[in-house]
């Protein structure tokens, strides 16, 4: 008994210090019948922080019964809320709803308290958010905020502010929604919010930023979350989707080894209990491999697809990378149809659709996708969407032969990607800058941009996408020149490439300047001498 008593004393001290590993080890050394209700609650908290969800559910159930037996209904309901969230994270909705029902019956028997607000946040704010009822979630969040202020409960106020903010974002009120999220996180940063809730709010907030492609905010909150997490002496972040978001940021920053390893761990850990997390992780693995030119990218996309994640636009971009521009164009059009009307779901597909349609010589499709993406970026005005829109616009301008107009847009896109730390996207923009400078006859600037792109691709281990064309001709200019050599008129070339006669004329002016000819006959001879011909 004395040994067990010493272990209990040490376990309680370890819990007060947030030393979760020792908390678990010490409590495990003591017979369960010697643990008080508060000991079991502390034991639950420790295994929960260490990501041992099965143990957390087992210990939590025992702690809940002990708290009720000890006449501690408020603590019991607070614990039940965490059990509901844990079951939901594991994809076990029946158990989650069952625990919610148990907690609700207990609440009916006690006077109104802040814990009623926590239950309301769970059952009316979060549930309405997940159910696609953001207006109802806003109304419920206002009620929860009132309760939090009335009972002087910072946890409740912070949770409700998050709920309101995310719901406003879903309603399209992005500026106000993001402001509420920031306000909610002030309490977390000030240390006024309990640790258990702080972890959830970090993850929820990062998810909301991801939803609207606010990469700058997403990056900042991820950095702060990891710093906070390190201070909690926790081995790893328990929530799988937040770890996928972190891997996504690593992918963007060029930390591809870390991104792939992190995503693969999530894919394996969560495959049996939260399949959507595993699906998203497999998709991210596919993205890393596609950018590297790894042929196993297709397998990763299949794993994502098998778990319910549409593997687009990654699969279409892989088709393009493998030389099937027409097939990629068909795939990305289907992906847009499948995405429905949600502009945020459609945005990354539109970004891919622009590049694919340009490669497939479908400029009308590219213009449609670019226009939609520009409208979405204007509506939501977040860092990631604005960078995607600028890239799409510059690509379309170049494809239309409007290099002079494309140049300032390209520089804007390049600055955006650099600000976000998006290494590969910045290198792709360097390629387009090189193309624009060459179209304007500035070979020195073009060479500098090309060298920058190649340097980044080599450092990242990316598949080299720098085109090899004579005299700095762009891919589109080679297509026009081949059709000139085939005897086509400007009108016929425009019809073949789905561009206007004016754009064809602009391309020809650039081509004649680059290859040093003055008429179509000389241009046709140049095309034959350099092996530039139509594929038919």
For CA atoms 459, 464, 468, 473, give the dihedral sign.
negative
Residue 250 in this model has a pLDDT that exceeds 70: yes
Give the Cα separation of 279 and 270 in Å (integer). 9
Give the Cα separation of 427 and 397 in Å (integer). 18
Give the Cα separation of 242 and 413 in Å (integer). 27
Burial 260-278 (b: 16+ CB within 10 A, else e): bebbbebbebbbebbeebb
pLDDT band at 49 (very low <50, low <70, confident <90, very high): confident
**pLDDT value for 536:** 43
For residues 307 and 533, the model is more confident at: 307
The pLDDT > 90 percentage for the chain reads 63
Residue 351 in this model has a pLDDT that exceeds 70: yes
Q: What is the CATH number of domain 2-236?
A: 1.25.40.10
Nearest by Cα to 282 from 292, 293, 268, 295? 268
State if pTM tops 0.75: yes
254: tokens are 């060029």
- Within the chain, all domains assigned CATH 1.25.40.10 are found at 2-236, 382-466
**What are the pLDDT digits (tens) for 417-439?**
999 999 999 999 999 999 999 88
Residue 466 in this model has a pLDDT that exceeds 50: no
Q: Which backbone phi and psi does 167 adopt, to 5 degrees?
A: -65, -40
**What are the pLDDT digits (tens) for 155-196?**
999 999 999 999 999 998 999 999 999 999 988 888 888 877
The mean per-residue pLDDT over the stretch 36-45 comes to: 94
- To the nearest whole number, what is the mean pLDDT of the chain? 90
The mean per-residue pLDDT over the stretch 12-35 comes to: 89
Strands (E) in 310-441, as ranges, are: none
DSSP state, 32?
G
State CA 63 to chain mean position distance.
36
**What are the pLDDT digits (tens) for 497-535?**
777 888 888 888 888 888 888 899 888 888 888 778 654
State CA 203 to chain mean position distance.
12
Question: Distance between terminal CA atoms of the chain?
Answer: 89
- Within the chain, all domains assigned CATH 1.10.10.10 are found at 471-536
Question: Which 3 state secondary structure label does DSSP give 193?
Answer: coil
Domain 382-466 has CATH 3.50.50.60: no
Question: Which 3 state secondary structure label does DSSP give 131?
Answer: coil
Tally the C-alpha atoms within 13 A of residue 71's C-alpha that lie toward its C-beta: 0
Give the Cα separation of 434 and 447 in Å (integer). 7
In three state form, how does the secondary structure of 63-101 look?
HHHHHHHCCCHHHHHHHHHHHHHHHHHCCCHHHHHHHHH
**pLDDT value for 239:** 64
CATH architecture designation of domain 471-536: Orthogonal Bundle (1.10)
**What are the pLDDT digits (tens) for 79-110?**
999 899 888 877 788 998 999 999 999 999 99
State CA 51 to chain mean position distance.
22
The pLDDT > 70 percentage for the chain reads 95
pLDDT band at 338 (very low <50, low <70, confident <90, very high): very high
**pLDDT value for 234:** 56
């Amino acid at each position: 008994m004395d040994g067990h008593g010493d272990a209990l004393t040490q376990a309680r001290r370890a819990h007060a210090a947030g030393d979760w590993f020792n908390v678990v080890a010490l409590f495990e050394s003591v017979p369960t019948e010697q643990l008080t209700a508060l000991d079991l609650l502390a034991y639950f908290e420790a295994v929960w922080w260490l990501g041992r969800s099965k143990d957390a559910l087992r210990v939590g159930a025992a702690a809940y019964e002990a708290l009720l037996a000890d006449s501690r209904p408020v603590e019991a309901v607070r614990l039940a809320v965490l059990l509901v969230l844990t079951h939901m994270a594991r994809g076990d909705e029946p158990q989650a709803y069952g625990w919610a029902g148990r907690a609700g019956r207990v609440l009916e028997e006690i006077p109104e308290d802040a814990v009623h607000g926590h239950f309301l946040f769970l059952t009316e704010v979060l549930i309405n958010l997940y159910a696609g009822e953001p207006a109802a979630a806003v109304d419920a969040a206002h009620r929860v905020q009132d309760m939090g202020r009335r009972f002087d409960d910072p946890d409740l106020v912070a949770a409700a502010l998050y709920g309101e903010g995310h719901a406003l974002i879903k309603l399209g009120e992005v500026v106000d929604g993001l402001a509420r999220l920031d306000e909610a996180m002030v309490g977390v940063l000030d240390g006024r919010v309990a640790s258990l809730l702080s972890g959830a709010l970090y993850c929820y907030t990062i998810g909301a930023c991801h939803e609207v492609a606010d990469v700058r905010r997403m990056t900042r909150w991820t950095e702060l979350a990891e710093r906070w997490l390190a201070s909690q002496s926790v081995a790893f972040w328990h929530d799988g989707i937040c770890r996928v978001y972190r891997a996504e940021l690593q992918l963007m920053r060029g930390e591809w080894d870390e991104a792939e390893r992190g995503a693969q761990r999530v894919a394996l850990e969560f495959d049996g209990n939260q399949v959507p997390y595993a699906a998203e992780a497999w998709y991210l693995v596919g993205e890393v491999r596609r950018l590297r030119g790894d042929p196993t990218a297709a397998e990763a996309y299949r794993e994502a697809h098998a778990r319910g994640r549409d593997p687009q636009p990654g699969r279409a971009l892989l088709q393009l990378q493998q030389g099937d521009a027409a097939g990629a164009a068909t795939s990305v059009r289907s992906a847009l149809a499948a995405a429905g009307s949600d502009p945020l779901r459609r945005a990354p597909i539109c970004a891919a659709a622009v590049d694919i349609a340009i490669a497939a010589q479908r400029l009308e499709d590219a213009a449609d996708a670019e226009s939609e993406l520009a409208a979405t970026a204007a509506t939501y005005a977040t860092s990631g969407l604005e960078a995607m829109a600028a890239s799409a616009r510059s690509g379309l301008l170049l494809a239309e032969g409007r290099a002079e107009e494309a140049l300032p847009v390209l520089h804007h896109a390049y600055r955006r990607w650099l600000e976000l730390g998006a290494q590969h996207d910045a290198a792709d923009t360097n390629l387009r800058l090189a193309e624009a400078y060459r179209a304007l006859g500035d070979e020195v600037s073009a060479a500098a941009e090309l060298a920058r792109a190649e340097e980044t691709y080599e450092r990242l281990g990316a598949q080299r996408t720098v085109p090899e064309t004579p005299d700095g001709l762009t891919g589109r200019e080679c297509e026009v020149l081949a059709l000139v050599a085939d005897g086509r008129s400007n009108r016929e070339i425009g019809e073949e490439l789905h561009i206007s006669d004016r754009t064809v004329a602009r391309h020809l002016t650039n081509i004649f300047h680059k290859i040093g000819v003055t008429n179509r006959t000389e241009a046709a001879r140049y095309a034959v001498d350099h092996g530039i011909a139509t594929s038919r």
